[in-house]
Amino acid sequence: MKNGMIRTNKGFFEITVTVNGEKKELSVKNGEFLLDALRRHGWKGTKKGCDTGDCGSCAVLLNGKPVLGCLAPAVTAHGGVLTTIEGLGTVHAPHPLQRAFVEAGAVQCGFCIPGMILSSKHLLDRTPDPTDAEIRKALDGNLCRCTGYVKQVEAVKNAAKRLKAKC
């Protein structure tokens, strides 16, 4: 087994993963996808959309990079660092991206937003002052049925300005 992962006799694997800054030991089913394991363990912010990797609603950050939770086997997170939307900010202390999405009106039904915000965070972690084209490329795997993406691009640009001002 990989790095001390233990397979139980009931078809589960015991994995260790840091989720939103807290080290956790999770039981994951043999063949279970990361999205389903996260939701089963209480992280409901990660959304189940298409279940085929086409919509991006299930995106989480694994070791700082976006992964589609509906396609990633849960065991691949063993030993890794996961960030879900719950780990980015709170209602009372939102992350600058969360605040910018709300202020720009980029949140309508909200279903796609966790994946969009985490994809945007990955972009801003690598590219602090992205162009519109870079933002659109970063959001390319995230489908939104409510908008034309103009407000999401505006939100990412506004968050980039805020994050730059903090430095």
Structural domain harbouring 27: 2-87
CATH number for 106:
1.10.150.120
Asked if residue 101 and residue 49 are part of one domain, the reply reads no
Q: Residue 118: is its pLDDT beyond 90?
A: yes
Asked if residue 110 and residue 57 are part of one domain, the reply reads no
Asked if residue 108 and residue 72 are part of one domain, the reply reads no
Asked if residue 104 and residue 124 are part of one domain, the reply reads yes
> What's the start-to-end Cα distance of the chain, in Å?
42
- Which of 69, 87, 105 is at the close of a domain? 87
Looking at the structure of the chain, the number of domains it has is 2
Model-level pTM?
A: 0.92
Rg from Cα positions in the chain: 16
Q: Residue 5: is its pLDDT beyond 90?
A: no
Asked if residue 107 and residue 76 are part of one domain, the reply reads no
Helices assigned H by DSSP within the chain:
34-40, 96-103, 113-126, 132-138, 150-166
Please indicate whether residue 103 or residue 167 has the higher confidence score (pLDDT). Answer: 103
Banded model confidence at residue 4, pLDDT cuts 50, 70, 90: low
- Which of 52, 87, 122 is at the close of a domain? 87
Residues 54-95 pLDDT 10s: 999 999 999 999 999 999 999 999 999 999 999 999 999 999
